[in-house]
Structure 1
């Protein structure tokens, strides 16, 4: 049985967008403005042009594009000439096509499918989010995510937290591991633990229920050592060439990491005003944006002073460290 033009592109060059070419150009320009890299933009460009050519072969009008059309495109066995060589369309490629269709909907070119209304957050979930905002110092993105995840679990848990027990908590989380990825469930357990602590603090559930939330194991990078020996740390610090500005900077950074246990983000956010030379302390803002003042060890302080005196670029900036723009010699 002969295949229709919708099933195969018959070796034609399927990267000709035809009448959709101006919209494809506008689409790629939009992605560039959003900050996507050129390689990513070129991938979206190819997917959009492929869709445009397939629409012509399948005799589908642009106004008729909907989710069903995207599904048909995903199923067609492609023999298009151009940058693609695979016979079936990959899931990643289809996601790019769907993003182009969303763009057409935003421009009023195709009819947009109404988004389902989000469920109204439960009163206690809203209070939980306010509690996170006032007492935990987390970002609005995290607050929103935790609220949505708790709302997802409430139908299985029930809206009467005083009746919850450890078995129910475990069963609900284990059930989620069969529906979504372990990484997603791991984040979900963080939200649930926080919610249970919030409820417990207000006497709305049994104390200690947060301990019943199962730990979700993730084995990625499990072969890496949990820490390196102190002798190896000292060896690494000693490799810094202090005759160069880069070496002076790297030694100061390594000593701050090793002596104070700082993270890379802590190092990058350090400002000149964070150092109190009189008291020999260093001010650091942690994940909750709370300021912590740490003692500055002698060797780390000396290394930091050497960097500021010899290697730091002469710029009008309050940041201490710069990863670029350091001269090669002291």
Structure 2
């Protein structure tokens, strides 16, 4: 039938494989072919994209199969979606470029497209798609505005997405000038957002507020001492494992971003950790040092470490709620 309609053996074989994939997908959902709808077609195309297929990712590519099913009376005529606007066609092509040329995963494609839509809406408006109006000043002004409204990490993400979009528009011939160079780097000085450390006397008050007669109190006291003596981040404390403590050598291994430090273990810190292990830490096969106090037993997170500090600070009114201790 396909050959009779003018398809080559290769294109016909590709359509047969496409139909087989559609059949498997419907079967996996417990659906029959007659239950195919426009919404389910869109879901199938998305599933095909996520599965790593590089062809037949649009409704147009699926049309021959749909026509066969309609001719055979398997499905009723599916009304085509309204004709896509010039802007929608641009973003459809951009999404295909990201997947097929750049190997971008579907979730990132959606984020990049969202950023791209906002960028074009702000810079050239919602009416006509006059891409020739875009200039370097539009790009830099947009990034400055976004940096004032967003975190450093999100601004960096936006910059990466814009470079991708501008490269695509230039390769497509929509821009006479390559504007990628107009996208500057985002400055992110380390620790610029960290608050000042607490004075030593306030740290001592926080330590004294830990009720070491209880299991949670022993854990919290050990957590606070590690934060105070080593100046660790919450995530570094949460990452500590039993095997990181080398008691014979009096050392502890601290793992941070891309580094591993072996540090001398102060006596008071070692005593606090031992007290927690012996009389506060639940008996379990888990190797993380600090565990939750309630079931199900699990390692605490960096957020939980920050929560411990905040709860202790809340009990001392004149103490600020810090993210870092001396």
Please report the TM-score for the alignment, with normalisation by the length of structure 2: 0.40
Query: Bigger relative contact order, structure 1 or 2, given CA contacts below 8 A and separation 6+?
Result: 2
Please report the TM-score for the alignment, with normalisation by the length of structure 1: 0.39
